[in-house]
């Protein structure tokens, strides 16, 4: 779901660097073989993730919620030569498609796919991250943030997706998921450890720089 009009979105996509052929194929296969292809970050957001990653040139990235691998591959495009990304995904049925496209895009040595619950896995990763992308279960966003904040270096980025929740954060009466996301946005906005930008692209990205 995008808060931009379809025409504006189409125009923006048309005037944005295209995804690689392999990523376009991944998107096609995700639509054919999964029940919720709308979970994909999508072209504009994918190019933004790739651009931010190229700017940061991270050595260590953490992705929480990989789905079919689209955003992990976009982020991997900007890794430093000796960099790698830990990609965490709970659904083991997606492993074959993630691994297929990690190989097709040549990132076998750069993307470490870990299948399991991110809440269990994150504490076991002994790394300092330059960039973290949070895009898994929305109810756990505050927990993911609390688990990663001390693992991010000063100047590093944390990016959280879907923080407008299809615009429902604006409603007077909010359902439980929306209340949790609204509370997350307020938590980030009042956290002195980060400088934050709520970017209303697509379903909303919260971009945070650790001070």
Ligand X SMILES: C[S@@+](CC[C@H](N)C(=O)[O-])C[C@H]1O[C@@H](n2cnc3c(N)ncnc32)[C@H](O)[C@@H]1O
41-70 binders of ligand X (CB under 6 A): 41, 65-67, 70
Residue 37 engages ligand X in binding (rule: CB under 6 A): no
Q: Which residue is nearest to ligand X (CB)?
A: 65
Minimum Å distance from CB 71 to ligand X? 3
CA gap 7, 188 in Å, rounded: 32
CA gap 91, 94 in Å, rounded: 6
115-134 binders of ligand X (CB under 6 A): 117-119
Closer CB to ligand X, 66 or 185, in the complex = 66
Residue 76 engages ligand X in binding (rule: CB under 6 A): no
Considering CB under 6 A, how many residues would be counted as binding ligand X?
A: 19
The torsion region of residue 28 among left (phi > 0), alpha (psi -120 to 50) and beta comes to alpha
With contacts defined by CB under 6 A, name the span among 112-120, 123-131, 180-188, 201-209 that binds ligand X: 112-120
Residue 39 engages ligand X in binding (rule: CB under 6 A): yes
Residue 85 engages ligand X in binding (rule: CB under 6 A): no
Minimum Å distance from CB 207 to ligand X? 15
Minimum Å distance from CB 72 to ligand X? 7
Closer CB to ligand X, 32 or 192, in the complex = 32
- CB 105: neighbour CB atoms within 10 A? 21
Closer CB to ligand X, 65 or 83, in the complex = 65
Interface with ligand X by CB under 6 A: which residues?
39-41, 65-67, 70-71, 88-91, 117-119, 135-137, 140
């Amino acid at each position: 779901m995008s808060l931009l009009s379809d025409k504006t979105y189409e125009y923006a996509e048309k005037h944005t660097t295209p995804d690689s052929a392999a990523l376009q194929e991944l998107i096609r296969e995700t639509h054919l073989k999964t029940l919720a292809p709308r979970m994909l970050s999508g072209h504009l957001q994918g190019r933004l993730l790739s651009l931010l990653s190229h700017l940061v040139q991270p050595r260590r990235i953490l992705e929480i919620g990989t789905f079919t691998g689209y955003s992990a591959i976009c982020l991997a495009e900007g890794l430093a030569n000796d960099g790698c990304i830990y990609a965490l995904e709970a659904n083991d049925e997606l492993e074959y498609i993630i691994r297929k496209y990690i190989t097709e895009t040549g990132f076998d040595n750069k993307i470490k796919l870990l299948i399991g619950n991110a809440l269990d896995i994150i504490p076991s990763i002994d790394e300092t991250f330059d960039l973290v992308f949070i895009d898994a279960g929305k109810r756990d966003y505050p927990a993911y943030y609390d688990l990663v904040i001390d693992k991010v270096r000063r100047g590093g980025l944390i990016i959280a997706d879907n923080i407008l929740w299809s615009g429902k954060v604006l409603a007077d009466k909010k359902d439980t998921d929306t209340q949790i996301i609204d509370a997350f946005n307020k938590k980030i906005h009042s956290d002195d450890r980060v400088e934050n930008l709520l970017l209303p692209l697509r379903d909303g990205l919260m971009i945070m720089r650790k001070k």
